[in-house]
Structure 1
Amino acid sequence: MLHIKFPFRKGACENCGAMGHKKKMCLERPRSIGAKYTEKDIAPDDHVLPNLSLGYDSKLQNLRIREDPAKYLLNLNEDDPYYDPKSRSMRENPFLGVKGKEVEATKFAGENFIRYTGEVIQANQAQIFAWAARSKGIDVNATAEPTKLEVLQRNFDKERAEVIETAKKGLIEKYGCEEHLEAPAKELLLAQTEQYVEYNRKGKLIKGPEEILL
């Protein structure tokens, strides 16, 4: 709990009464009558950081803890991913394809990993769509007109889905075989089931339900 001295002290702020700054540097709302004259609601003094005499190593040890090694120390092989000391970036995963480093690979997957997560994929798809639209003569810019580009892309995806569905129905009406479009049973896909059946050497059922052949 802060200890506040109620009497106004010489050299304190005339507005709030706190030591450490002057009236023109005070961050409190200007009072109609300053604390210099009322000696009420004296604000706590400004916190002054201690003057620590730190050496060169002490000033630099707080940037990174020892449990967090530098990126260039993760993989010291000759063919390891390139580390750029100027930007302090390693774009590729240093543990990619290294056996026994699966756990370490989950901690740092390279700076390129961020480029393919979240809304970055949608932004890249929008940029590719803008380039394709401009090649077709449609004047649109992904940076200057994002709303226009989003509307164009939404309408394009809708029309493309309708064209695909119309072509699909036309093929079904012409050739039939609609039943083959449905996904087969899971047992047929894997050619196995979780149903256990055991027989003896003579082919007699020992354990499990008896299969009925139709």
Structure 2
Amino acid sequence: MAKEPVRVLVTGAAVSSLGQHTFSVSFKSREDHRKQLELEEARKAGLVPAELDEDGKEINPHIPQYMSSAPWYLNAQRPSLKHQRKWKSDPNYTKSWYDRGAKIYQAEKYRKGACENCGAMTHDKKSCMERPRKTGAKFTSMHIAPDEKVESFELDYDGKRDRWNGYDPSTYSRVIEQYEAREEARRKYLKEQQLKKLEEKNGKNEEEEASSEEEEDEDKVDEAKVDESKQMDFAKVEKRVRTTGGGSTGTVRNLRIREDTAKYLLNLDVNSAYYDPKTRSMREDPMPDMDPNEKFYSGDNQSRLSGQALEFKQLTVHSHAAFEKGQDIHMQAAPSQAELLHRNYKIIKEKLKSQTKDTIVEKYGNAASDEALPRELLLGQSEREIEYDRTGRIIKGQDMSLPKSKYEEDIFINNHTSVWGSWWKDHQ
């Protein structure tokens, strides 16, 4: 939806009276302040022409007041944005580069009016920057310092604080030469050390070969096997390790031995266990028909159902069940509390189980105890003889037990002489 334009009624007197006071910081009455706001709204809405500065340029009415109002110390008499522009526009105001340490002339003997200490004409003895000599150049006329290049200019704020002002980048080539010479000497020294070690090793090997010719046939070393010290960094992987102080490059070792067969190569059948290459997981057993004593990998689900993974699963299930029953428990928010409650739950459960077992044993007895059992229970037979027919009905020896009701029979309450009550018969 398009917004309706704001319509403000501004009189000509208000425009003429307030147009002169936009730049002023003098006190305004409430009425003047209201008229000022109305005028600003009208300028923003385009009903009144924009304000002009002293150069005749229009001032954008949407500029905030803290930018458009000039500071008090500039004594601005008319509205202007000159204080926002670069008012030091003189191109020769700043010469922020000079020749640092430049020399212009090298004298061979002392000249009249020169520095008595070093012999340069560009300064006197009081402002000389050289170490005070025991006998100045005025008297010895030796080791005359060259005249410095003197420049007169005015630096701006940045030029005064520029630490690289006057720096010549070509002088850095000397630093590079020093480092290259040092590196070359270091490389040469290391090469000499390696050659020396190699010569010593060859001499020892010759002595060992002479002494162990007889033992070589007995102890043959498999050439396919690699020394452990040489394959130490075989599975080294450079990764970004997250630390408390930020990411830092660290060494993470891959713990899988490279001689092991990869899990996706154990069974090449297309319809065997699914392998996810992104997460490197294979949940099912790739070889279900193989002897369990011979295979070393039974699928990722095998590790999920054993050890601490199973305990964590039980803890999570207990936390969810307790939360659903109204307990204020959460695995991520308070893991210690959840674990403590789960531990208490297991203790109470074991107590209840043992209590139930004791109640049953107390009521029915314990067959594993050392107490003497009754004779009929011990031998599993009795003196009573019962005779059955082919269908399993009792012929003689024991009367058939009739099923009894939970209600008492042949007892009439409240002076009744027969069974009384209401019953249902013939839909009535």
Give the TM-score range, shorter chain.
0.3 to 0.5
Give the greater-gyration-radius structure (CA).
Answer: 2
User: Taking structure 1 as the reference length, what is the TM-score of the superposition?
Assistant: 0.48
More strand by share: 2
User: Which structure's residues are more often helix, by fraction?
Assistant: 1
